[in-house]
Amino acid sequence: MKDSQARTIYLKDYQAPDYLVDHTDLSFELDPHATLVKSKLKIRRNPAVAQANETLPPLWLDGADLELLSVSINGELLPAHRYQQRAGGLSLSTDAPEFELEVHTRIAPEANTSLEGLYLSNGMYCTQCEAEGFRKITFYPDRPDVMSVFTTTIVAPASYPVLLSNGNKVDSGTTEDGRLRVTWEDPFAKPSYLFALVAGDLQHVEDSFTTCSGREVKLQLFTEARNIGKCAHAMTSLKHSMRWDEEVYGREYDLDIFMIVAVDHFNMGAMENKGLNIFNSACVLASPETATDAAFQRIESIVAHEYFHNWSGNRVTCRDWFQLSLKEGFTVFRDAEFSADMNSRAVKRIEDVTLLRTSQFAEDAGPMSHPVRPDSYMEISNFYTLTVYEKGAEVVRMIHTILGPEAFRRGSDLYFERHDGCAVTCEDFVAAMEDANGADLKQFRRWYSQAGTPVLDVEDTYNEALGEYSLTIRQQTPETPGQKGKLPLHIPITVGLLAEDGSPLRLDDAAGQMEVVLHLTEASQNFTFAGIASRPLPSLLRGFSAPVKLRYDYSSAQLQFLMQHDTDPFNRWDACQRLSINSLQTLQQQYRSGEALQQPAALIEGYAAVLDDAALDPALVAKMLALPSAQEIAEQGGEIDAAAIIAARTFARDAIATALAERFLTRYHALEQHKPYSPTAEDIAERSLKNTCLFYLCAAGSADALALAKGQFERGENMTDTAAALAALVEFGTETQAEGFLQAFYQQWQQDTQVVETWFGLQSGSAKFGTLERVQKLIAHPAFEVKNPNKVRAVIAGFAMRNFTQFHRADGSGYTFLADQVIALDKLNPQIAARLVTPLTRWKKYRAQESAQIHAALQKISVSGELSRDLYEVVSKSLEQD
């Protein structure tokens, strides 16, 4: 497992750069095998670290996989003794505090399978420089606190008519030998990770946006000709994002042009490069025939996220990679609020919290557990995590809750004003919030440095004689790797109280508030409410006001009451989840003890009440009717018994389906849509509930239900309904039926990359026995491409990360399969390999047999040879649990 380059980098060791780069002039002569890169850098000694009469330190330039051709200072070629090339970069001595450095390098984009730096994607040149990809383009101080103004000239054969980079186009023409030449200039200083270049035979759609100050901005979305009809939704989403950012945050776009490029081969969802956002095709291209509702909403959210980065990430960037959540946590919060305003706020919150509970909480409790701002890392790409992004967003949300919307806006205004054009820290963000409002968030800062998911235990008492209701809340954060003795956090807990008739109680007569925010700052605190005429039922942690696990001993009857009466839609859903978890835990106990599984009566009654409530938003009903995933059930604490979880969940699903079949059928027919597709919140809600009903109907095993699914599949009015019907037919039809429908679907859509990825995912996610064998065949399918991260995510990750039932096969073959795939992928794309290994990292959490099998799979990876830094860090930390 040895990695000779593996070393730990610590936040405490941060030092400001010795040199700054005021201007970067880049020239590219593109060639698949031998691209020539010339860089001219205007460099000066950093005055913040310079000392009088000092001997100038060497200049260090990061570099990887580069062929060095020449190095010059102020126009003079340097002799060999003036510089030294070694692993990781180039060191050169200098005798002047200011100089112009010119470096010529050669790179091979076609051979770059890591998809970092400059590489070829389906014949298109593309870059990905965050976090440390720029060093694969040229030797450079590749760190976020070195900010420079960039000018980029691209020279390419005429077969690449579109040549793009950051900023505004300032020149174009042809060379003497007939090649195309374009020069771009970005007037805003930026770190190297925000550099971008694209070259290809592309088409584009164009629109414009008039900013709040009256400037007209050109908007362009580039893609291959075959996808040009799938750009309208992304363009609309971009314009909505630009308007929303002006209205909610006062942020106006600053360049003359904003461009988006869709790329098939991309490790991430998208990248916020200044003025030239590069997107994974799956995150920007959509049409009703080829993309599901979830894809439409994901595209809207990601387009907004990358656009919002123009201020929260580009104009104000992070000082070092430990501060990654400074830009990502803040921007995820911003895009979540945007999506909530564009769609159903309750459903958006439910989706975000579900991701936290199923995956981020697991990360908090695993070997890679780290704070929102990590203290150390071996490979920075491993810290593009749910903790940095999603928990980071929850930390920002808590500040918003503590201060209130108006105060939060004052804080963000000060933050952008104070730090525009700077590379700053998480403390700078919090300080702006404090200074703008005279607030004290000193204790709150612990959220940035303390890992783990806090657990809240809540007890209540009621004094009838005094009319006082009291809540006692205790907090504790479990120990995590490298962190013991956790300190109390400042946790905002939004609370409401319900009367016996279900009406909300007024908790603040002066303000007429039906809910209040309790500020838990001690290990244990008591909160008392006066003037309460009878014992209320608490509605706790409304809107999921903090990323914590909450324990309060609700009875089944109380949970059903909250499901029907709570005025907070998130807590109505959460009560349903809690009722489901309680029923599933009972079924697991019955399974382990060998008893016959019993109908979950309380759960069926609760679901029936939800189905019968015509006043509820259909989108919320669909969410409430969805059983907790196996992954979420596994995170409820204690040893994970995969077989018991699978048995309990399958039994509960079938019992609900059978008991409520008539209700599901009635709602299904009431929601059938035979109208033009629209991705509006209302239509998406109706399709969501309709397809939830269809899934349960098919689970009940009725031939009539399968006929409904067959009819919906064959009508094919939109991809949402088609894919939902196909999923039900694959899951509940016979093997012969499933194969027939899958082949019909593939024959129709085999020319469409995104739809084929949907087809892959439907198969890899099937809970049917035999899915592993099907997945192994899919890897050999002509449409599968191991160098394409989207295909890998659809097939391999779809099986290992989203198919709990078949990944945890009793013979351990699922674990062995994943280990083999990770070993192979590490040679091609270390980032993807390191992310894929995640399901194996929590081996100690499982019962003995599964734990041993998962551990063996990890060991297989560890002895397979020298691993990349990315994979080495994850595997070594996972095995440290021995």
H/E element holding 137? none
**Alpha helices (H) in 365-488, listed in sequence order:** 386, 392-403, 405-419, 426-437, 446-449
- Is residue 374 within 8 Å of 320, Cβ to Cβ? no
Tokens representing 415?
């933050």
C-alpha 401/C-alpha 715 separation (Å) is 46
**Alpha helices (H) in 343-423, listed in sequence order:** 345-355, 361-364, 386, 392-403, 405-419
Write the CA distances from 715 to 142, 677, 718, integer angstroms: 53, 13, 9
- Is residue 697 within 8 Å of 708, Cβ to Cβ? yes
H/E element holding 183? strand 180-190
* Phi and psi, residue 515, nearest 5°: -150, 155
Write the CA distances from 846 to 367, 368, 636, 765, 814, integer angstroms: 14, 17, 13, 21, 15
Question: How many other CB atoms are there within 10 angstroms of residue 290's CB atom?
Answer: 20
HEC-encoded secondary structure of 676-736: CCCCCHHHHHHHHHHHHHHHHHHHCCCHHHHHHHHHHHHHCCCHHHHHHHHHHHHHHCCHH
With CA atoms as reference, report the closest residue to 299 among 211, 384, 231: 231
HEC-encoded secondary structure of 744-804: HHHHHHCCCHHHHHHHHHHHHCCCCCCHHHHHHHHHCCCCCCCCCHHHHHHHHHHHHHHCH
Q: Are strands 89-92 and 83-86 parallel, antiparallel or unpaired?
A: antiparallel
Q: Are strands 203-210 and 216-223 parallel, antiparallel or unpaired?
A: antiparallel
- DSSP secondary structure letter of residue 291: -
Q: Is 146 helix (H, G, I), strand (E, B) or coil?
A: coil
Catalytic residue among 306, 351, 390, 873: 306
C-alpha 300/C-alpha 240 separation (Å) is 9
- DSSP secondary structure letter of residue 93: -
Could you tell me which residues come within 8 angstroms of residue 721 by beta carbon, excluding any fewer than 6 positions away? Answer: 687, 690, 691, 712, 715
C-alpha 734/C-alpha 752 separation (Å) is 27
Which burial class, exposed, middle or buried, applies to 564 when counting CB atoms under 10 A from its CB (0-12, 13-18, 19+)?
middle
C-alpha 780/C-alpha 503 separation (Å) is 59
Write the CA distances from 424 to 47, 392, 671, integer angstroms: 17, 16, 51
C-alpha 45/C-alpha 141 separation (Å) is 13
* Residues 431-440: b if buried by 16+ CB within 10 A, e if exposed: bbbbebbebe
H/E element holding 82? none
682 catalytically annotated: no
- DSSP secondary structure letter of residue 190: E
* Phi and psi, residue 214, nearest 5°: 95, 0
C-alpha 866/C-alpha 4 separation (Å) is 8
Could you tell me which residues come within 8 angstroms of residue 676 by beta carbon, excluding any fewer than 6 positions away? Answer: none
CA angle 145, 149, 155 (to 5 degrees): 120
Tokens representing 698?
């098919």
Catalytic (active-site) positions: 306
